[in-house]
Amino acid sequence: MAKLNASVAIQVLPSVQGDEEVIRVVDEVIDYIKSTGLEYYVGPCETAIEGDYDELMEIVKQCQIIAIKAGAPSVMSYVKIVYKPEGDVLTIEKKTAKHHKHDLAKSMKGKTA
**Residue 113 predicted with pLDDT over 60:** no
Instruction: Report in angstroms the alpha-carbon separations of 27 from 21, 43, 49, 63.
Output: 10, 12, 15, 11
**pLDDT value, residue 26:** 98
pTM: 0.84
Residue type present at position 113: A
Residues with Cβ < 8 Å from 59, sequence gap 6 or more? 8, 32, 33, 36, 38, 49
pLDDT at position 88, please?
Answer: 85
Q: Does residue 89 surpass a pLDDT of 60? A: yes
Domain at 6-108: CATH architecture: 2-Layer Sandwich (3.30)
- Would you give the DSSP letter of residue 9? E
Q: Kindly report, residue by residue over 39-68, the tens digit of the pLDDT.
A: 999 999 999 999 999 999 999 999 999 999
